[in-house]
Chain A
Amino acid sequence: MTTVSLLGVASYLPEHVVENDFFGAAASQRKGMFGAPTTRRHVARDEQAAAMIERAAQKLVTELDLEPARDIDGIFTNVALPDQAFTGCGAEVAHRLGARPRWVLDLHNTGCVSFIYMLALARMFLQTSELRGVLLCNVQNAAGRVFSQPELAQLPQAPVPGDGCGVGYVAASAVSPLLSLVQRCNPPFAGDMQAIADDGRRYWEPGLRPIALQFTERRVAAIIERGNAVVPELVSEACRAAGVRPTELDLLVTNQPNRIFLRNWCEALELPREKHHDTFDRYGNLFGAALPINIVDALEQQKLVAGNLLGLGGFSHAGDYAAAAVLRWGAGVPRP
């Protein structure tokens, strides 16, 4: 089979830094699942997902010396809160970059772990079709779009999310090879995250109350238990498939829902905390964008260098999808 590499990553963080006082006096005191980061970014009202991807992707284009019309013929996106109802933003991204994609996939599922899921799809396309290179695009914009609403900013979970965009470029190459990848769908957890308003209206129905995201309350214990267990399980499985032990990973990067999951995953994999790189305290829960953004951050801090064994892992929503991968990092450091 053709070896597939993650040849580069880049990120874009919205300028607007939001401090905890925005969410009320109690925000910085909370612990547990709603323990707040020190800061996070919020997208501006008119900041489009496609524009965020463009800004991050331009860095990659420069870094990797890509000719978009030639080198980017696949574009996969996952956007937390799409710019438009009905349509995804992949075609708009292609337009902005001057790419001429043969395949565009705007994923509606796998949220927080969609970077790994898209990596799996990219590998499949690159191994079975004529595609030359795939741009993976993750946008988290639910913090500014949802949790900055005045009625919602006081909710305990409001300070946790933060916005950002991360992109990756995948091609047939042995430079930075994907050694293993496992992914799983857990159907019983599919219905446990909802976007609802407190007046009970559907999100498409007119009304005055804002829409928030929440988990099925009676299932919270099961969701926590699943979240605790599933990421270490899949990272271990990906390591087995790559023929290494989890403790041999030079760096682990995951999604970052909260400090509790980060602590528990790291403990369960018996990794020292410094080998599990996160940006939760600065950027909050970046949903699907956490993985590429954290890889960029690790590179900038030289915690990830060429030759390192890099583990990726995460789960989405209430645990409906989970995935993990192991790569031998060989790509360079993105220019800021």
Chain B
Amino acid sequence: MKALDPAGLTGIDGLIRCEDYDRNALGEHLTELTHTVYPHAEVYGKFCTIHAHIECPPELVFSYMRDPYSLLEWTYSVRKLRPAGADGLLVGVDSGNTPIYVRTRSNEQALTVDYHCAWDQGSELWMVYLNRIVPAEIVLKRPGSVVLWTNCHHPYYDRNPFPELNQDAERAWVGDWWPLFFAGHTLELRNLKAILEHRFRRGQELGPRVVESA
């Protein structure tokens, strides 16, 4: 058994632990925090996390997602990806003709696949799509995978840090769409789920099915 060093938490304010808050006192905090409805901005304003269950084994979902060319299939508008530099950096187009740079960081043991992206330039990849794949057997006691996808509201979403790189005066900034990220990402996650389930159910190669093009 391990016990707490009595001085270990001294000076840290605001902790809610059973030694200082009995069930009634805890109940006060819990009920104050529990609303019936929550404004969209309160839920999705700083962090946007979505999740889905996919009827496809976790290692296969991981293999598909870690291949950055799968983005050509399941994202709404990332297209024309090609190598653009060191360390797996790719460039393609997004939202019409905006250059989007992507570097994929994955960890097979943790089943994480993170897409580090940016519009217009590839030196500071600040649009980060964090994905974790969890075996559904463990968390839902059913076959398949749970995909957890989080974006954090980076300050560049509020202001384009490199406006001089923008070639299109009519273009809306990616961050202007932040209030619609829940919806937009949900649609893309549904794409991912549909593609993987369609191919897995039929015993097909999961892909991505991409061909070289000029």
Contacts and interface: CB of A to CB of B under 8 A. Distances in A.
Range, interface on chain B: 10 to 19
A268 interface: yes
A263 B28 contact: no
B135 to A, nearest CB: 28
B34 A224 contact: yes
B28 A34 contact: yes
Interface in B8-34: 24, 27-32, 34
Interface string A155-199: 010000000000000000000000000000000000000000000
A267 B35 contact: yes
A265 interface: yes
Contacts of A30: 28
A33 B134 CA distance: 37
Contact of B28 (A32, A229, A264, A265): A32
A294 interface: no
B36 A229 contact: yes
Contacts of A265: 36
A220 interface: yes
B37 A32 contact: no
Contacts of A156: 24
Interface in A133-165: 156
B36 A220 contact: no
Contacts of B31: 31-33, 224, 260
A263 B24 CA distance: 20
* Chain A interface residue number, banded: 10 to 19
A40 to B, nearest CB: 19
A316 interface: no
Contact of A268 (B28, B30, B34, B36): B36
Interface string A18-39: 0000000000001111110000
A286 to B, nearest CB: 20
A264 B28 CA distance: 15
Contact of A31 (B28, B35, B36, B37): B28
A228 interface: yes
A232 interface: yes
A103 B25 CA distance: 47
Interface-central residue, B29, B31, B36, B37, by most chain A CB under 10 Å: B36
A32 B36 contact: no
Contacts of B34: 224, 228, 260, 264
Nearest to B38: A267
Given A32-B31, A33-B31, A260-B31, A228 B36 contact: yes
Contacts of A35: 28
Contacts of A220: 27
Contacts of B29: 31-32
A34 B36 contact: no
Nearest to A29: B28
Contact of B27 (A32, A229, A264, A267): A32
Given A267-B37, A268-B37, A260 B24 contact: no
Nearest to B28: A32
B23 to A, nearest CB: 8
Given A32-B29, A32-B30, A264 B35 contact: yes
Contacts of B36: 228-229, 232, 264-265, 267-268
Nearest to B30: A32
B27 A260 contact: no
A192 to B, nearest CB: 16
B46 to A, nearest CB: 20
Contacts of B35: 228, 263-264, 267-268
A301 to B, nearest CB: 26
Interface string A234-249: 0000000000000000
Sorted from nearest, which 3 A-B pairs have the closest CB atoms?
Answer: A32-B28, A32-B31, A268-B36
Interface of B: 24, 27-32, 34-37
24 contacts: A30-B28, A31-B32, A32-B27, A32-B28, A32-B29, A32-B30, A32-B31, A34-B27, A156-B24, A224-B31, A228-B35, A228-B36, A229-B36, A232-B37, A260-B32, A260-B34, A264-B35, A264-B36, A264-B37, A267-B35, A267-B36, A267-B37, A268-B36, A268-B37
Interface of A: 30-35, 156, 220, 224, 228-229, 232, 260, 263-265, 267-268
Given A33-B31, A35-B28, A264-B34, 8 more contacts: A32-B29, A32-B32, A34-B28, A228-B34, A260-B32, A264-B35, A267-B37, A268-B37
